[in-house]
Amino acid sequence: MSERQHMRYSLTKISRNVKLGPMPASTSSRSTCPTACPLVGKGGCYAEYGPMSIFWRKVDRGEAGGDFDTFVKEVEQLPRRQIWRYGQAGDLPGEGNTIDREQMLRLATANRNRPVIAFTHKPPTEDNLETLRQARALGFPVNLSANNLDHADELIQHGLNVVAILPEGYARGAKESLTEYRTRTKELPKHSPAGTRIAVCPATYTETNCLHCGVCATSQLRGAIVGFPAHGTKKKAVSAIAEGDVP
């Protein structure tokens, strides 16, 4: 059996992830993750911990989800204007660093312009970028995920929206009020080194969620890098990546 046939996809109809809000969310096999991702296996991938990791292992073992054809049919059957999250764990179709163009464009076509929140850590090879541009033209925009703001400045040159991990200083502390957080972070850089505005994801410091925000689902160029502050038990490791201390 080819690697492609081994890959599995699951579409949870209503996610219980509070940061997403109650929307459909998909999970894809770990083999879709790029070897280029610096978070994998280094304690920085949030999908490798907690309840998400248990479900992800089930998808990997074939105990949840199904093949790509089944997944595409499920996407086709989502309500017409339903916002959803592609890849709460796992990456775009295709093994490792590669985006499988045929599958990606089938998925984009099946989606029929539903707003979708998708990110990829796959590297910006010419083939991958061409696939992402074609997918966006079909109404399936994908954000390029940067490891830090310097990386974000490089990725944004490709004409696609970019998100980035931010150092832990951008995260709101558990006991910090919103006012305290805003006051403390006032001095932090608001722009990347090359001058693009940083927009910290509001779900990381307020009660909102992706269902209400939807900024990452836009196919228009945002002119801002959406930033996700390092947080949680592995925040030191993630923050080191965000600060460019890990290649």
Q: How distant, in Å, are the alpha carbons of 102, 146, 175 from that of 242?
A: 33, 9, 23
SS3 179: helix
For ligand SF4, how many residues bind (rule: CB under 6 A)? 10
Closer residue to ligand SF4, CB minimum distance, 23 or 59: 23
| Distance of closest approach, residue 63 Cβ to ligand SF4, in angstroms | 28
| Distance of closest approach, residue 53 Cβ to ligand SF4, in angstroms | 20
| Distance of closest approach, residue 102 Cβ to ligand SF4, in angstroms | 28
Contact 210, 216 (CB under 8 A): yes
| Distance of closest approach, residue 23 Cβ to ligand SF4, in angstroms | 10
Q: How distant, in Å, are the alpha carbons of 21, 124, 193, 226 from that of 154?
A: 31, 10, 11, 15
| Distance of closest approach, residue 93 Cβ to ligand SF4, in angstroms | 21
Rule CB under 6 A: which of 50-89 touch ligand SF4? none
Contact 200, 166 (CB under 8 A): yes
- Rounded CA separation 213/23 (Å): 12
Binding mask 185-204 for ligand SF4 (x = CB under 6 A): ----------------xxx-
Contact 117, 83 (CB under 8 A): yes
SS3 154: helix
- Residue with token string 């974000």: 152
Closer residue to ligand SF4, CB minimum distance, 132 or 163: 163
Binding mask 117-136 for ligand SF4 (x = CB under 6 A): x-------------------
Q: How distant, in Å, are the alpha carbons of 18, 93, 119 from that of 174?
A: 16, 36, 27
| Distance of closest approach, residue 174 Cβ to ligand SF4, in angstroms | 19
Rule CB under 6 A: which of 203-232 touch ligand SF4? 203, 210, 213-216, 226
Closer residue to ligand SF4, CB minimum distance, 19 or 184: 19
Q: Rule CB under 6 A: say whether 171 interacts with ligand SF4.
A: no
Handedness of CA 144, 32, 75, 18 (dihedral sign): negative
Contact 23, 13 (CB under 8 A): no
Closer residue to ligand SF4, CB minimum distance, 164 or 216: 216
- Positions touching ligand SF4 (CB under 6 A) are 117, 201-203, 210, 213-216, 226
